[in-house]
Amino acid sequence: MAQNIGRGVPEDWRIAETTVRLGERQALSRTFTDAAGQVQFLVYHLKGLEYLESESVLLLVPSAEWEACAAEAESLLAQLRGTP
């Protein structure tokens, strides 16, 4: 995980947004999928449910087991207290 500094993605990628519950807070999760349908990375916006308003953003670069990585990251993020 690392702070995210966006630079844009190719036009043929898809971005799926969902709201997730991480402990006591809600966060916006954005999943970036390439033209071949492979998940390339996920972004968790920890403050604000609009990604342009988010103050804290963490990036998870998944492996082939991206769903397990996401579940582990969400479990860790749910344990955070205060401002990350």
Give 52-68 pLDDT, tens digit per residue: 565 566 666 767 788 88
Domain count, the chain: 1
CA 55 to chain centre: 13
For residue 52, being part of any structural domain is answered with yes
Write down the pTM of the prediction.
Answer: 0.73
Sign of CA dihedral 21, 17, 45, 1: positive
For residue 83, being part of any structural domain is answered with no
For residue 43, being part of any structural domain is answered with yes
For residue 3, being part of any structural domain is answered with no
For residue 41, being part of any structural domain is answered with yes
* Alpha carbon separation from 79 to 24, 37, 38, 46 (Å, rounded): 9, 31, 29, 13
For residue 44, being part of any structural domain is answered with yes
Give the model confidence (pLDDT) of 21-78 as tens digits: 988 888 888 888 999 998 888 888 877 666 556 556 666 676 778 888 888 888 888 8
- Write out the residue range of the structural domain in which residue 12 sits: 8-78
For residue 34, being part of any structural domain is answered with yes
The continuous run of DSSP H or E covering 76 comes out as helix 66-78
